[in-house]
Structure 1
Amino acid sequence: MVELRKVIVFIFVSFLFVYMIWINFSVLNKFGHKKLLSALMISGLGLISIGTFFDVISSLSGMKFRNLIQICFTAGAIIFVTYIILWSNHIAKILANLNQHAHTDAMTGVYNRIGFERELMKKSSRKKESFYVMVLDLDKTKEINDNFGHLNGDRYIISAAKIIKDEMGKIGFVGRTGGDEFIAFLENVNEYDIEKIKHSIKIRVSNIFLKENKNMNISIGYSKYEKDGQDYDELLRIADERMYEDKKKRKNIIRNLQ
């Protein structure tokens, strides 16, 4: 009966060993499974398999392999536990990376809409004081694409995103919600600070194509929590309306100058 139990254990461990090798080379390598992890997994389970094999031989033949069996089990267990720890850390990094990609705009490196709204909900749920939501829309994007090519159009969007992110600094964060549309969250500021940031963004964006002698524009509107609305949708709607008012105002100025 004892021998049968040991045979069953040996078969199970051997099956697990073969299965893990198959998983390693057919599946895990596609997810960046490192060679060190593969070596640890194979070594650990291999030693445990060898230990169970000699345990069966010892029971069936009466030959004594006690020291060898103990060494195989102990070393195998230590190596395999080390593998499990390192593999868990590796998986955690992969998941963190996937999470980052899921919430980040690939072109600009700022949040995408999902990432921005997630961060906003986290911030607003913890905060009692007021904050601002800012909507920004780049002008002349189609003109840049048509006259200078899509690479320069992408450069325009990427440069603008960097400017907006720089201006937010530690007081907020920014997300890209469309082709040339952005949204920002700002805290620990007053309306005077907001106007300074708004003005600075406009100046810096206008100079993106300075070498090409092309003056660019960005329309900006913002809303304040509690004063303008109690929830995100209301704040976004008001900020969006004010952004279009800003765009319309500038177009009227240009029209009057012509």
Structure 2
Amino acid sequence: MQQDVFIYFIDYEKAFDRVKHDRLGPLLRNIGLDGKDLRIVLQPKGTVRIRGEVSKEVEIQKGVRQGCILSPVLFNLYSEAVMAEALEDLNCGVKINGRIINNLRYADETIFIASTETELQRIVDRVNKCSKEAGLTINIKKTKVLVVSNNANLGPTIRVASQVLERVQRYKYLGTWLTEKWDSETEIKTRIEKLKLTLFSEETKEFFVNLVLSTMKDREARKIIRPDMIHLLMEAKK
């Protein structure tokens, strides 16, 4: 990695539950949604059962349905508006092929990228402000900072409001480990361990050990012992 990269992994508290319908409505209308479809999304009703008694219907004014396949799309639309406002005219980020990249997003999995500590703090401040206005609360405990650099002396202090964010040596984003050295060793080891767990259940291990042992006995009888068989036996017994 030739350039220092400062990464901000943001996590919202109960993100899908905090979507404001009065802000989501105009966004849906702007993409052509209206009538019955709009009412289904923005005017859901619910009841509560208490001691066997069902309450009157109440209109739900906030949140998108958990488990609904449409919810990630709705949240993407909502967060897109928040991020567009936060990052507007903010010339911060990492230049890749002549283009400045300062964020990567998938549903509620979002990271922000900058080339300096100062730039990253500016991004954090703007995102925090616009998120609050949209009803979204940043989860300080789960929000992290990762610095990809060969300079061990870099020790940035990034804050959300007055609270210092934890700096980590690695972070898992969309199933892949990102590390401060930008190497693939951690990811490769993780995938190997997962493969072992998949391939070598207890029954499979037992079968494999017995197979190796029987093969070794046969070869021993014929005075043929190969190092690869010893290695296989050791692996099977792990």
The TM-score bracket by the shorter chain reads: 0.3 to 0.5
Q: Which has the higher contact order (CA 8 A, sep 6+)?
A: 2
When Rg is computed on C-alpha atoms for both structures, the one with the higher figure is 1
Bigger proportion of residues as strand: 2
